[in-house]
Amino acid sequence: MESQKAEVAYEVLPYLRVYQDGHVERLSETEKVPPGFDPKTYVTSKNLLILPDRHVSARLYLPKITNINKKLPVLVYYHGGAFCLSSPSSPMYHNYLNSLVSKANVIAVSVNFRLPPEHRLPIAYEDSWAALQWVASHSKGQGSESWLAEYADFNKLFLAGDSSGANIAHNMAMLAGDPKTGLSVKILGIALVHPYFWGSKRIGSDTDDPRINPVGDGAPSLLCLGCTRVLVCVAGKDILKDRGWLYYDTLNKCGWNGVVEFLETEGEKHSFHLKKPTGQKANVLNERLISTGTSLPVAYEDSLAALKWVAYHSASIDPQTGVQSKDVSIQKETGLSARLYIPKIISNDQKLPLLIYFHGGGFFAESAFSPAYHSYLNSVVAEANVVVVSVEYRLAPEHPLPIAYHDSWEAIQWVASHSKGEGHEPWLKDYADFDRLFLAGDSAGANIVHNMALRAGEEELTNGVKILGSILVHPYFWGNEQIGSEGSDPVKNDMINKIWLIACPSSTGLDDPHINPVAKEAPSLSKLGCTRVLVFVAGKDMLRHRGVIYGETLQKSGWGGVVEIIETEGEDHVFHLLNPTCDKAKSFMNNLVSFMNHDNK
Instruction: Determine contact, residues 336/410, Cβ cutoff 8 Å.
Output: yes
| Residue 449 near residue 358, CB atoms below 8 Å | yes
Residue-level pLDDT at 481 = 93
271 is catalytic: no
What pairs with residue 532 in β-bridges? 469, 562
3-class secondary structure, 569: coil
Residue 23 lies in a domain: no
Range in 88-97, 225-234, 235-244, 345-354 the model is least confident about: 345-354
Contact present, 134 and 166 (Cβ < 8 Å): no
| SS3 (DSSP) at 246 | helix
Q: Which of 57, 86, 337, 443 is catalytic?
A: 443
Distance from C-alpha of 387 to C-alpha of 413, rounded to nearest angstrom: 16
Q: For the full predicted model, state whether its pTM sits above 0.75.
A: no
Check whether residue 560 and residue 438 sit in a common domain.
Answer: yes
pLDDT at position 315 is 86
Asked whether residue 241 carries a pLDDT value surpassing 80, the answer given is: yes
* Residues 593 and 523 occupy one common structural domain: yes
What's the pLDDT at 304?
37
Q: Which carries the bigger pLDDT value, residue 11 or residue 569?
A: 569
Angle at 463 between CA 457 and CA 466, to 5 degrees: 35
**Same-domain pairing of 75 and 141:** yes
Neighbour order of strands in the sheet with 432-442: 324-331, 336-342, 387-392, 352-358, 432-442, 469-473, 532-538, 562-568
Which of 79-83, 141-145, 389-393, 405-409 shows the lowest per-residue confidence on average (mean pLDDT)? Answer: 141-145
Residues 267 and 351 in one domain: no
211 domain residue, yes or no: yes
Angle between helices 444-456 and 403-416 (to 10 degrees): 60
Q: What is the mean pLDDT of residues 204-230?
A: 83
Q: What is the pLDDT of residues 570-594, one digit of tens each?
A: 999 999 998 898 999 999 999 999 9
Quote the pLDDT of residue 294.
38
* pLDDT tens sequence across 428-452: 999 999 999 999 999 999 999 999 9
Residues 6+ apart with CB under 8 A from 170: 190, 192, 195, 197, 214, 225, 247
Question: For residue 515, is pLDDT > 50?
Answer: yes
The one catalytic residue in 45, 86, 99, 163 is 163
* Short-list 254, 379, 390, 368, CA closest to 321: 379
pLDDT band at 291 (very low <50, low <70, confident <90, very high): low
Q: What is the CA radius of gyration of the chain?
A: 27
Q: What is the DSSP letter of 510?
A: T
13 occurs within a structural domain: no
- pLDDT attached to residue 292: 53
Is the model more confident about 404 or about 54? Answer: 404
* Strands across the sheet containing 189-193: 37-38, 43-51, 56-62, 107-112, 72-78, 152-162, 189-193, 229-235, 259-265
Angle between helices 371-384 and 583-597 (to 10 degrees): 50
pLDDT higher than 80, residue 312: no
Model confidence pLDDT, tens digit, residues 253-277: 888 878 788 888 889 999 999 988 8
Q: Which of the four pLDDT bands, split at 50, 70 and 90, describes residue 8?
A: confident
β-partners of residue 325 are: 341
Given a contact cutoff of 8 angstroms between Cβ atoms, the answer to whether 577 and 372 are in contact is: yes
Average pLDDT of span 44-67: 93
Beta-bridge partner residues of 339: 327, 390
Give a yes or no: residue 168 inside a domain: yes
| Residue 577 resides in a domain | yes
Share above pLDDT 70 across residues of the chain, in percent, rounded to a whole number:
93
Q: What is the pLDDT of residue 297?
A: 33
Report the C-alpha gap between 573 and 538 in whole angstroms: 6
pLDDT digit string, tens, across residues 156-173: 899 999 999 999 999 999
485 falls within a domain: yes
Same domain, 288 and 405: no
| Nearest of 327, 426, 412 to residue 369 by alpha carbon | 327
Mean pLDDT along residues 305-314: 52
Instruction: Give the domain-ending residue among 270, 301, 332.
Output: 301
549, amino acid identity: I
Secondary structure (DSSP) of 341-404 = EE-S---TT--EEEEEEE--STTTS--TTSHHHHHHHHHHHHHHT-EEEEEE---TTTS-TTHH
Both 412 and 556 in one domain: the answer is yes
Does residue 20 sit within a domain?
Answer: no
Question: Are 79 and 165 spatial neighbours (Cβ–Cβ below 8 Å)?
Answer: yes
pLDDT value of residue 376: 96
**350 pLDDT more than 90:** no
- pLDDT tens profile 10-23: 888 887 888 888 78
The reply to whether 286 and 419 lie within a common domain is no
Number of domains, the chain: 2
Q: Are the C-beta atoms of 282 and 276 separated by less than 8 Å?
A: yes
pLDDT band for position 203 (cuts 50, 70, 90): low
Same domain? 132 vs 201: yes
Residue 598 pLDDT level (bands cut at 50, 70, 90): confident
- pLDDT at position 600 is 44
In this structure, what CATH number is given to the domain that contains residue 528? 3.40.50.1820
Q: 166 with 194: CB under 8 angstroms?
A: yes
Question: What percent of the residues of the chain are helix, what percent strand, and what percent coil, each to the nearest 5?
Answer: 30, 20, 45
Q: Are residues 256 and 366 in the same domain?
A: no
For 49, the domain range is 31-301
Q: What angle do CA 560, 562, 563 make, to 5 degrees?
A: 125
Strands 532-538 and 562-568: parallel
Mean per-residue pLDDT, 534-553: 97
Of 279, 301, 323, which closes a domain?
301
pLDDT bucket at 493, cuts 50 / 70 / 90: confident
- In DSSP notation, 91-140 reads HHHHHHHHHHHHHHT-EEEEEE---TTTS-TTHHHHHHHHHHHHHHTTTT
- Are 580 and 376 contacting, i.e. CB atoms less than 8 angstroms apart? yes
Is the per-residue pLDDT at 2 higher than 50? no
Question: Of 163-167, 465-469, 555-559, 596-600, which gets the smallest average pLDDT?
Answer: 596-600
Q: Which of 269, 286, 301 is the last residue of a domain?
A: 301
Residues 42 and 123 both lie in one domain: yes
Q: Are residues 181 and 295 in the same domain?
A: yes
3-state secondary structure 172-206: HHHHHHCCCCCCCCCCCEEEEECCCCCCCCCCCCC
Q: Which pLDDT score is estimated for 387?
A: 97
HEC per residue, 458-501: CCCCHHHCCCCEEEEECCCCCCCCCCCCCCCCHHHHHHHHHHHH
Alpha-carbon span 344 to 364, nearest angstrom: 33
Whether 267 and 366 share a structural domain: no
Check pLDDT > 60 for residue 308. Answer: no
Told to judge if 379 belongs to the known catalytic residues of this protein, a careful annotator would answer no
Provide the residue type at 503 as one letter. A
Count of residues for the chain? 601
Does any domain span residue 384?
no
At residue 199 the predicted structure's pLDDT band, cuts being 50, 70 and 90, is confident
Q: How many C-alpha atoms does 110 have within 13 Å on its Cβ side?
A: 25
**Collapsing DSSP states into helix, strand and coil, what is residue 53?**
coil
